[in-house]
Amino acid sequence: MTSSTLIFVVLFLALFSYWYGIQRSIKVAGGATQVKKLVSLPRQFGLLTAMWCGLPALIFLLVWTFFESTVIEALLVQSLSVEVQQLDQSALGLYLNDVRLLSDSSAEVLQKADPDKVFAAEKLLEINRDAAWLKSGLVLILCLSCVAFIISRFAVDFRARVYLEKIIMRVLLACSIIAILTTVGIVMSVLFESIQFFSSVPPWEFLFGLEWSPQMALRADQVGSSGAFGAVPLFAGTILITIIAMCMAVPVGLMTAIYLSQYASERLRSYAKPMLEVLAGIPTVVYGFFAALTVAPFIRDTGEALGLSVASESALAAGLVMGVMIIPFVSSLSDDAINAVPTALKEGSLGMGATQSETIKQVLLPAALPGIVGAFLLAVSRAVGETMIVVMAAGMAANLTANPLDSVTTVTVQIVKLLTGDQEFNTPKTLAAFALGLMLFVTTLALNVAALKVVRKYREQYD
């Protein structure tokens, strides 16, 4: 049986065990009329039995699948000739690959192939078959014996409820561990690939180099085939676009928040807030082609009319559209911060004869400042990590410039560029993407941590 059929069988067995557990518990109680004597409900007995049936078997299957290929490979190599066993790592890998291909091939192909390999392929099929039988057998035995074990413990005072709670708690724990492990795994893999990258390109060259042209690394026959991996232009571009986006998003977002929370009528607020949320729900790719097809040409034409030379893909276009994308983010977080300021403070100020705008400027905003700074930092980290808009609107040229009318490129754009299309792994070019990713990750992490710290500090002040 394949693993997927096996899973279905186990699930079916678990379903059956649920019913069986209920029946057994009723029997233990001494009939349907006596169920009240049990300290737990029959349903809980059933669920517990089902879990005992399913969980150990599924865990076993998972572990088996994880180790299967390694173990089978080792068994195969052991059964082969001494020459094969003495092959080095990569040669052995190639050899086994051939064997695996042959094991799936038709008889015709087998006739033409190296008899040694054909023998190995047959051996492999045999091992696979045995393994499948073994797996199915073990899983079924595990299911049945676990059910038998738990059923044997059923009694009137068996605390199925408590055991059930414990199992559920462990399942939840396992799920959260999966989430954490995945994060750690991603960080680790990015970290290791980056370390590999830094073994071919020195870190200081990457961090402080002023030239970025990874394309050269492809042409191994040319001089300077190592490419230029100075990330400064990318970070400069990212910073430039982020600054433009923030110049757009922060004033507009903050003032929107002030208007909505302090001046707008209840009615207006009930329309405006959902509309802002729609803005937040637009996919970034839509913003991207809005930037590339509408805003960028408009800026270029306007610039030309004013006698300025504007690149057709300008940092300004990408930054402005990204700013619009971030507005709802800034406004809703600032709104929360302003609303969290106690009404007593606002009334205190109004009660002194301050106008509404004086109250906002002198009391509400200073009191909400930490929350607003937190919103700002979170917005920056979104802008830094944003990809789609810049891919479509900011361009690919790694210019080191502070001119918003020029075309620039960002870290995320370059990661996309390095990894799309047919690429060979393990070249500095592809590994550079991981190094850039690591830098990005560290930056946004630092920003997020700072933002959370600021926001938390502010919470303590008023609660």
Partner 1 sequence: MSDLSITEALTSDDIVIEGTVGTTTAEDAKMSMRNVNVFYGDKQAIKNVSLDLARNQVTALIGPSGCGKSTFLRCLNRMNDTIPICRVEGELKLEEQDIYAKKLDPVLLRARVGMVFQKPNPFPKSIYDNVAYGPRIHGLAANRAELDEIVVSSLQKAGLFGEVKDRLDAPGTGLSGGQQQRLCIARTIAVSPEVILMDEPASALDPIATAVIEELIDELKEKYTIAIVTHSMQQAARVSQATAYFHMGHLVEMGKTEQIFTNPTHELTENYITGRFG
Query: Which helix (H) or strand (E) segment is 26 a member of?
Result: helix 3-29
List the one residue from 347, 402, 426, 457 that touches partner 1 (CB under 8 A).
347
Query: Which helix (H) or strand (E) segment is 228 a member of?
Result: strand 228-229
* Nearest distance from C-beta of residue 335 to partner 1, angstroms: 18
What is the C-alpha end-to-end distance of the chain, expressed in Å? 60
- The SS3 of residue 229 is strand
Q: Does 354 bind partner 1 (CB under 8 A)?
A: yes
Q: Does 363 bind partner 1 (CB under 8 A)?
A: yes
- The SS3 of residue 220 is coil
Stretch that binds partner 1, among 161-169, 274-282, 362-370, 393-401 (CB under 8 A): 362-370
At 112, give phi and psi (nearest 5°): -80, -15
- The SS3 of residue 231 is coil
Could you give the CA distance from residue 462 to residue 341 in angstroms, rounded to a whole number?
A: 8
List the one residue from 188, 293, 352, 445 that touches partner 1 (CB under 8 A).
352
Nearer to partner 1, 145 or 362 (CB): 362
Q: Does 366 bind partner 1 (CB under 8 A)?
A: yes
List the one residue from 5, 81, 85, 355 that touches partner 1 (CB under 8 A).
355
Enumerate residues 6+ apart whose C-beta is below 8 A from 114. none
For residue 374 the two structure tokens come to 């937190």
Nearer to partner 1, 195 or 350 (CB): 350
Could you give the CA distance from residue 19 to residue 23 in angstroms, rounded to a whole number?
A: 6
Place of tokens 């995320």: 412
Q: Does 349 bind partner 1 (CB under 8 A)?
A: yes
Q: Does 358 bind partner 1 (CB under 8 A)?
A: yes
Q: Are 374 and 452 a contacting pair, CB within 8 Å?
A: yes
Nearer to partner 1, 302 or 461 (CB): 461
Could you give the CA distance from residue 85 to residue 70 in angstroms, rounded to a whole number?
A: 15
Q: Does 11 bind partner 1 (CB under 8 A)?
A: no
Nearer to partner 1, 174 or 369 (CB): 369
* Nearest distance from C-beta of residue 378 to partner 1, angstroms: 23
Interactions with partner 1, residue window 261-300 (CB under 8 A): 265-266
* Nearest distance from C-beta of residue 339 to partner 1, angstroms: 15
* Nearest distance from C-beta of residue 460 to partner 1, angstroms: 12
Residues of the shown chain interacting with partner 1 in the complex, contacts defined by CB under 8 A: 265-266, 342, 344-355, 358, 362-363, 366-367, 461
